[in-house]
Chains A and B, each alone.
Chain A
Amino acid sequence: MALYQRAPYDTANRHDTVDDESDREEEALVEDYKEQVHFDDGMSELDRTTSFGGAAGGGGPQDMQAQLAAAATPLEFGAALDTKFASYDNYCNLFHCILNSEGPVDLEVPTYYWAWDVIDEFIYQFESFCRYRNRIARTESTGEEAQLLRDNPNTWGCYSVLNVLYSLIQRSQINEQLDAMKRNEDPNQVAGEYGNRPLYRMLGYFSIIGLLRVHCLLGDFSLALKTLDDIELNKKAMFARVMAAHFTTYYYVGFSYMMMRRYADAIRMFSHILVYVSRTKNFQKNAQYDSVSKKNDQMYALIAICVAFNPTKLDDTIHTALREKYGDQLVRLQRGGPEALPLFEDLFRSACPKFISPTPPDFDTPDLNVDPVDHHCRIFMEEVKNTMWSPTIKSYLKLYTTMDLKKLAGFLDVEPERLRSWLLVNKQRSRQVRWSEGALLDGEVVNGSDLDYAMQGDLIHISEAKVGRRLVDWYLRNLARTY
């Protein structure tokens, strides 16, 4: 709340934030959206100025403005290696200037979305550079480009990228500021001479989100979640004011939860953002929507995976959209068994982040440069294989209150001892860590399944948690219709 109110860029709708009602907030966010559409028009004008401004030097204020704009602009698709190297140098110059000048740099930022665009583009270029380098090492490790990459192992190095992000965070004292806001204190007291300025504050803030993403790309999912310790995930968070940031945050948090086998938490994250997108999609008629739309589909795929692991009642909007997009696949995922394995793998590959390897590849032994996506996918599939019989077992157990293990083994055509193990596996997997309060990594173990059972020798006792009729949603929906 406090953060929202004090945000320096918060112009419209300030009065709305006073009351706590979520409807109003959503309207405010929608307003923001319209602003952002205009903002994109503004950006394309800036692009034009870059072309003659030149991004290198950094002499007069005009140059600096051009450099700022360039940093937030995507490289052309299929840009040459030289361009990628040059872009890296540009970022180094820019961040060096911002971080290491004497005292805070006095800069007029093009818009407050700029900070997000810079960090986003910076990490995107890092990610695509690493993947490109890895691919070259795998496929044409003797070519000219390979030689160039081999000679410049430190360009787009992992340590430099992390260094930039951590330095921005430290310079801006953003963690201290966020912490103060959490305690309802004035963040300006702890912000210092840098953190008081919007430029540093925003760069610092979005660097935290950037770190979340980088850790996730490197396969360090617990550290990714740990990074957000000081950010409270709710509609009032600062990132919620920039659609792309909002979206990115929830995608990576959800994905990290999924990889930590906290499927209920992952579903909660994906659902939140997908509902939000579906409510604002009428305002997303610009180019940016394409990227949102792609991530949108990816998140539906991930939700399908999580629901297969952890059957849950979804929000109606999500449920309908999921059936439309992945109806057939969802049924097959939920049925489980060996036939579902390729489907799990396809969906995972289509929806996972583009994982990277932090170190330069080994150009001398191409075989060692396995695509990191293959690596993470392989580990994930182990878990899928391990639980693939759970749906089958559950579908049988649902029909009985007691059941003889040997009889069920007969139905399923497996040895009783295998079945006994499957039952234990399913029992374990129905217990999951779930967040209730505090930091993202907190949580307690709860039973996420409506079906529970215990074995007494060869006899299986089965119980079910029945859900009473849910009337409120239905009642409200129909009431709204009568107006």
Chain B
Amino acid sequence: MGIAFDAAPDRPEHIEAILNGLDRYNPETTTIFQDYVTQQCEDRTYDCYANLALLKLYQFNPHLTRDEPVTNILVKALTVFPSPDFSLCLHLLPPHILSPPPSSSPGSSAPDTPLAEAVTKLAHLNALLEQCAYRDFWDALDADDLFADLVADVSGFEELVRVRIAVTVGQGCRAVDRGVAEGWLNLQGKEFEAFVEEICGWGVGVDGVVSVPVNKENEAKGTVVREEVRFEQFGRVVRRAYEQPA
């Protein structure tokens, strides 16, 4: 059994109560949700369903919107790629935030707000992660000073992303060239070896190959799916036999 989308193991009771009641629409709960986002950033927990509730409050009450919780929520969503969470958050942001100013009337277009700029850049990072262009992701993260500010609140951002990358790599690979893996994880030398061996449980060979132990996802074993026959499928036939005795 997987975990339901609306469940979060570390969710405090008072948040649970708000989410299940009508208070989730009450603008006064905004601050409670904001504090909860801050808490998630600090203690490395994650609760997408609650964060979406905050974005919804902003959607209904634009004057309450504060940039920092929005960007923090998006940065947190980056750390759980390749889940759809980042997109689900974007869907709740105001429609103009992602759209480039119309080229037909460059003069009259509204000035780019800092939030719009931040969201656009984070969306770019998300795109790189979803495309599995991990090396490009680290380069992009490094190249723009804005990102340092954006991810500063999220404790252990790089490490969280690195672990997610390692998970996706572990699903798709049995062995990776060390150079490739170093680029993907943005670690070199001793640091790389420590991370790969201790956290991922992979082996680093002297021949420059990182080997990933076999797991359910990377064994890629062929199977034959057989048809499942249930008696009920024959219900009609059996009934026919009764209705029209020969």
Contact = CB atoms under 8 A, between A and B. Distances in A.
Interface of A: 21, 23, 158-159, 162, 166, 218-223, 225-226, 259-261, 357-359, 365, 367-372, 374-376, 378-380, 382-383, 386, 417, 420-425, 427-429, 431, 433, 436, 438-439, 441-445, 447, 452-458, 461-472, 476, 479-480, 483
Given A220-B92, A469-B227, A375 B236 contact: no
B143 interface: no
B78 interface: no
B229 interface: yes
Contact of B169 (A368, A424, A467): A424
Contacts of B217: 427, 431, 447, 454
Contacts of A376: 91
Contacts of B4: 438-439, 441-443
Nearest to A464: B222
Contact of B6 (A222, A359, A427, A463): A222
B91 A455 contact: no
Nearest to A466: B224
Interface of B: 1-2, 4-6, 22, 25, 48-49, 52-53, 56, 59-60, 62, 82, 84, 87-88, 90-92, 94-96, 98-99, 101-102, 105, 108-110, 123, 127, 130-135, 168-169, 171-177, 180, 209, 217-227, 229, 233-237, 240, 244
A427 B171 contact: yes
B91 A221 contact: yes
Contacts of A222: 5-6, 48-49, 52, 88
A445 B167 CA distance: 14
Given A222-B6, A421-B133, A454 B227 contact: no
Nearest to B24: A223
A367 B236 contact: no
B209 A454 contact: no
Contacts of B109: 367
Contacts of A447: 217
B95 A162 contact: no
Contacts of A425: 130-132
A18 B45 CA distance: 49
B221 A441 contact: no
Contact of B236 (A368, A382, A463, A480): A480
B60 A370 contact: no
Contacts of B88: 221-222, 259-260
Main SS class of interface, B: mixed
Given A359-B60, A379-B90, A454 B220 contact: yes
A370 B99 CA distance: 8
Contacts of A226: 6
B131 A421 contact: yes
Contact of A367 (B5, B108, B209, B237): B108
B235 A476 contact: no
Contact of A424 (B59, B168, B175): B168
Contacts of B98: 375, 378-379
Nearest to B234: A476
A457 B224 contact: no
A420 B184 CA distance: 11
B95 A357 contact: yes
A462 to B, nearest CB: 7
Given A226-B6, A370-B96, A476-B233, 13 more contacts: A220-B56, A223-B52, A259-B84, A359-B60, A382-B130, A420-B132, A438-B4, A441-B4, A454-B219, A456-B173, A463-B220, A476-B234, A476-B237
Contacts of B221: 452, 463
Contact of B222 (A21, A386, A433, A463): A463
Given A260-B84, A472-B227, A443 B2 contact: yes
Contacts of A445: 2
B91 A365 contact: no
B96 A369 contact: yes
B6 A21 contact: no
Contact of A453 (B62, B92, B177, B220): B220
Contact of B173 (A223, A417, A428, A455): A455
Given A358-B60, A428-B132, A464-B222, A374 B99 contact: yes
